Amino acid sequence: MATLTFIGATRQVTGSCYLLKTRASTILLECGMYQGSNQDEERNQKDFPFDITQLDAVVISHTHLDHCGLLPKLVRDGYQGPVFMTPATHDLIEVMLKDAAFLAMKDVEWENRQRQRAGKPLIEPLYTDQDVADTLHLREVHAYGETTPVTDDISLRFHDAGHILGSSIVELKISENKKKHTLVFSGDLGNSKTAMLDDPSVITHADTLLMESTYGDRNHRSLEETLDEFRDALQEAMESGGNVLIPAFTIGRTQEVLFWLGKFYREGILKQQKVFLDSPMGIKASEIYFKHLHLFNDEDTKSFRETVKQGWKEWLPPLHYTRSTEESMQINTITGGAIIIAGSGMCTGGRIRHHLKNNLWRNNTRVIIVGFQAQGTLGRALVDGARHVSIFGKEIAVNASIHTLGGFSAHADQSQLLDWTKSFSKPRPDLYLVHGETEKMLELQKQLYSHQQWHANIPHPGEMIEL
């Protein structure tokens, strides 16, 4: 009998990882990094809680680090089998993992300088460039809708999850002793209110369903309300002479923001003359988005696809790419009238921290939050209304206005999650909620029961179920 063990993104949003074992094979579904508080991030250093030599295959739903960020560590620790993913994930994951290795090495360099001075033993990075290069060789690509064997008794099909470019819902069919079992993992489900990508694919059959629950407790505002608030914040910043800072996940939210700024520009309502994409990785990811225009939603992006031939600057002429550190530092001298988009999305690292340090204390600054902010992150502290924050060891007053635009979220909200589950035919699959904070899961569980009389399980980390 097959078993499934919940390892990560279980009663929390990061560290997505599930182990599927049949009589003949073992598959790892996701190999995500823990992100958020220091305590969460320390978990990335720990040994994997399974025998790597037993693994036959790894399947990755999409490129966000909390779904794929520990792959190079798995490879460093001995994994040499295939890693299944979609074509766009193949392109994006290279950018994502190389950057993660770069940051890991930089962190260690800094830490080791302190340790050397204190006479403490030096530490190793989480993984290196070489581990990433070794990982990239293992990629095996399959387009949406294609069925492919993963092992002798498991086949795989990806469906479009509409969350970021190349993101997938993973369907695994297990055949054991003439018995068939279908496991569907939602991955991260997209927000159908956003414009660029298609809505998550409708799936009608599963025996076991793992579903994300990031926004299990709330509904996003409508896109119209979100765009109104976005326009107002941009306008107010212009009138008060301040800058606009947009911390954005380099893959997904960054491109959605560029798309809407371009639309505003074309409508003549974008007054800012300078829009900086201050993120080497965001620039690379945006160019990859451009290579996969066929995955964009036909209707919503028609004029975009017709306008752009070379790149994003045709769509948004005030856009400046800042690749080097020097160029990025020059932005610090601009005290108003600029829009600065930079990573990381939850303000846990990256160039956005420098811009926050320089601008948060000014009361004419607008910070626009467009993505999910996990507990323990600087982004969450801002959303929760902190009056002071610590950045690079300095206490900074928060006098800026903070706007949270839920409608730009890359995740389905409660009503969209409930709608998506309605398509499953009866008998309904056994449902397990994953990828959410516990209180959000409890709320979604309540809603599923009251609307559909469907009991959702909320597994504990390390729990194993029989399929």
Chain contacts with Zn ion (rule: CB under 5 A) = 64, 188
Task: Tell the smallest beta-carbon distance from residue 67 to Zn ion (Å).
Answer: 6
CA distance 84 to 77: 19
Contact 89, 163 (CB under 8 A): no
Task: Between 20 and 161, name the residue whose CB sits nearer to Zn ion.
Answer: 161
Measured from the CB atom, is 67 or 355 closer to Zn ion?
67
| Residue 430: CB minimum distance to Zn ion, A | 24
Minimum distance, C-beta of residue 188 to Zn ion, in the bound complex (Å): 4
CA–CA distance, 424 with 427 (Å, rounded to integer): 8
Picking from 148, 150, 168, 167, the residue whose alpha carbon sits closest to that of residue 159 is: 168
Q: Which is nearer to Zn ion, 188 or 217 (CB)?
A: 188
Nearer to Zn ion, 214 or 365 (CB): 214
Among residues 398 and 410, whose Cβ is nearest to Zn ion? 410
Do β-strands 17-21 and 26-29 pair in parallel, antiparallel, or remain unpaired?
antiparallel
Locate 234 and state its tokens: 């941009």
Residue placing its CB nearer to Zn ion in the complex, 18 or 276:
18
Of residues 188 and 229, the one with the C-beta less far from Zn ion: 188
Q: In what order do the strands lie in the sheet with 456-457?
A: 147-151, 154-160, 168-176, 179-185, 208-212, 430-434, 456-457
Least distance to Zn ion, CB of residue 290, Å? 20
End-to-end CA distance of the chain: 7
Q: Which is nearer to Zn ion, 163 or 284 (by Cβ)?
A: 163
CB of residue 60 vs Zn ion: minimum separation in angstroms? 11
Distance of CA 52 to the CA centre of its chain: 25
Phi-psi region of 132 (alpha: psi -120 to 50; beta: other; left: phi over 0): alpha
Neighbouring C-beta atoms of residue 274, cutoff 10 Å: 14
Rounded to the nearest whole angstrom, what is the least distance from the CB of residue 191 to Zn ion in the complex?
A: 11
CA separation (Å) from 181 to 3, 57, 208, 209, 221? 11, 18, 8, 11, 38
From CA 350, how far away is CA 113, in angstroms rounded?
20
The residue among 91 and 188 lying less far from Zn ion, judged by its C-beta, is: 188
Cα torsion 100, 103, 108, 110 to 10°: value is -170
In 251-351, where does DSSP find H-type helix? 253-267, 280-291, 302-307, 325-331
Q: Provide, rounded to whole angstroms, the least separation between the CB of residue 87 and Zn ion.
A: 18
CB of 110 to Zn ion, least distance (A): 28
With left for phi above 0 and alpha for psi between -120 and 50, is residue 15 left, alpha or beta? left
Does the N-terminal peptide bond of residue 427 adopt cis geometry, omega within 30 degrees of 0? yes
Query: Which CB atom, from 215 or from 315, has the smaller least distance to Zn ion?
Result: 215
CB of 194 to Zn ion, least distance (A): 13
DSSP string over 176-204 = ETTEEEEEEE--SPP-TTSSSBPPPPP--
Provide, rounded to whole angstroms, the least separation between the CB of residue 34 and Zn ion: 14
409: tokens are: 């979220």
